[in-house]
A = this chain, B = another copy of it.
Amino acid sequence: MIIWVTGANGFIGRHLVRELAGAGHAVHGVGHGALDAAEAGRLGLLTWINGEIDAANLNALAAHGRPTQIFHLAGGSSVGVSIEHPFEDFSRTVTSTARLLEWLRGSAPDCALIAASSAAVYGADHVGPIPEIAVPTPMSPYGQHKLMMEQLCQSYARTFGLSCTIVRLFSVYGPNLRKQLLWDICSRLKAQSEALHLGGTGGEIRDWTDVRDVARLMTGFTATSPEHAFRIVNGGSGRGTSVADIADGLVRHWGSNTVVHYSGVGRPGDPASLLADDNRLRHSGFDWRIPLDRGLADYVAWFKGQARG
């Protein structure tokens, strides 16, 4: 099958391409990042275009054949950047999706689109597992733009019948993630701090998922039914884990005695809990395979390895 991945050079994109290429698909990608042909080939990409998601680049990819599926992972990837540069985040997330949908409408209306969204669309007002039908109240431009991306997909599905699946990803971690909580903690453990000071209370609940499971999860989505061209699925496990438990697990796997302290002051707009209601996903038959403790051990092992490499 011919499959395209936008944002294929990103953290999740690279894992997803490896999964798809490993399953024998012809994978082509577009997004940002200077990869030469050899690097792209090692990732599993037959073609790589370093540039915007626009008609010219999509037509260039189509010279290698029309896609059956597109995994759309391109877009803003940081709440912080979205606050510093909101128009950039808007362009990367919303405008790129508008261009992709318009190209699909005209050039590949039967192609199934699977787009990665974020639990950030839910915002801070939720307690316990959040079902897909919860009213979204995003707190940041990042979450707002992801919601707008979803709405554009819904609009093209409703009006033009495009098949669109939205997967709202939660706290994805794993090998090669060079930012966010796990990266910060490991970086400080490596600097051999005796004490580790983190913001927040440590009691913030997140739904942590290993990127290798997430890549397998994404590949499981095929075209929607014609009657329901649009669907949203939480890509979370339904297991909530506190920041303190993540920190303790990393310290343990690191083999350190570092004591972790919390400021007790949350970051503005940082939700107390983001936990998936995983009913829809479970009904699809998907099973999470990497327990958190093994995921954390693997992350520490990867971190120590890449630090040596």
**Shortest Cβ distance from residue A233 to the other chain B in the assembled complex, whole angstroms:** 20
User: Which residues in chain A, 94-151, are within 8 Å of chain B measured between CB atoms?
Assistant: 94-95, 98-99, 101-102, 105, 135, 138-141, 144-145, 147-148, 151
Complex partner residue of A148 from B102, B138, B148, B159, CB under 8 angstroms: B148
Q: Do B155 and A151 touch across chains, with their CB atoms under 8 A apart?
A: no
A230 at the interface (CB under 8 A from B): no
Interface presence of A286 (CB below 8 A): no
Q: Which residue of B lies closest to A98 (CB)?
A: B90
| Chain B: CB-nearest residue to A85 | B102
Interface size of A by CB at 8 A reads: 29
Selected contact of A94 from candidates B94, B140, B144, CB within 8 Å: B94
A86 CB-CB contact with B under 8 Å: yes
A288 interface residue (CB < 8 Å to B): no
Number of copies: 2
Cα of A130 to Cα of B139 in the assembled complex, Å: 26
Q: Which residues of B contact A4 (CB under 8 A)?
A: none
Collect the chain B residues with CB atoms within 8 Å of residue A159's CB. 83, 86, 140-141
Find chain B residues with CB under 8 A from A147 CB: 151
Binding site for B on A (CB under 8 A): 83, 86-87, 90-91, 94-95, 98-99, 101-102, 105, 135, 138-141, 144-145, 147-148, 151-152, 154-156, 158-160
23 A-B pairs in the complex with CB atoms less than 8 angstroms apart: A83-B159, A86-B102, A86-B105, A86-B156, A86-B160, A87-B98, A87-B99, A87-B102, A90-B98, A90-B152, A91-B98, A94-B98, A94-B148, A135-B135, A138-B155, A139-B158, A140-B159, A141-B159, A144-B152, A144-B154, A147-B151, A148-B151, A148-B152
